[in-house]
Structure 1
Amino acid sequence: VHVFQEGAQNVVGLDFRASLTMEMTELQRGAERRLDFRCHDSFMFNEFNGEWQLTPIGADRTSLAYRVQVTPKGPLPVLAIEWRIREDVPPNLQAIKLAAESIPIEMLR
């Protein structure tokens, strides 16, 4: 599946806009699930590849991990982009956690 993503951020006082099309692949191995993404097309990035990994922890908990490797095209501030991603991921993961916990158990069966 291909997914188009577009975003805008203020990175160290600079307005930064980027878009890319990613190829998404869902994998399942036992109880562990993973969503891999790879940059398919982008004006701004040579590489924007990574994964979301979900691993059950006991009967009622799941660990969600996010990994990404970014290589921009041209003279983009790599350290600033990495810093912005590091700052944004924890609140995004917290929002996913809160949304997942609000789903009634009946809907999960």
Structure 2
Amino acid sequence: ERKVGSDHIGKMVFSAGRDQLAIVVYVPKHRREEVNGEEWLQAVIGTYSGATIVKQHDGGICSATIPADADKDIVPVRLRVPLIRAANEFLRARGLFPQDTPEGEE
């Protein structure tokens, strides 16, 4: 029996290989009325040509790939940081990600 876990927290996981960047999104059930996995993923990968959503499981789990493209300077390992930033900005815009606060303030 599992007592602890992080299934109440949404996640976007990136795996960069030489030929593509794979992305998997998880949105917990209690947040799916506010955002679904495909919407979040599409907002993050939407600007990359060749990016495809591979599978929409249930509104909570979704995956996608962005292929490498030397002609367009799309290198999977270099995409991670800007995509993480875009994912966080998407959530912040919807009030679903904690805002940064100055130290000492709560």
Structure with larger Rg: 1
**Which structure's relative contact order is higher, taking Cα pairs within 8 Å and 6+ residues apart?**
2
Instruction: Output the TM-score relative to the length of structure 2.
Output: 0.31
In proportion to residue count, which structure has more helix?
2
In proportion to residue count, which structure has more strand?
1
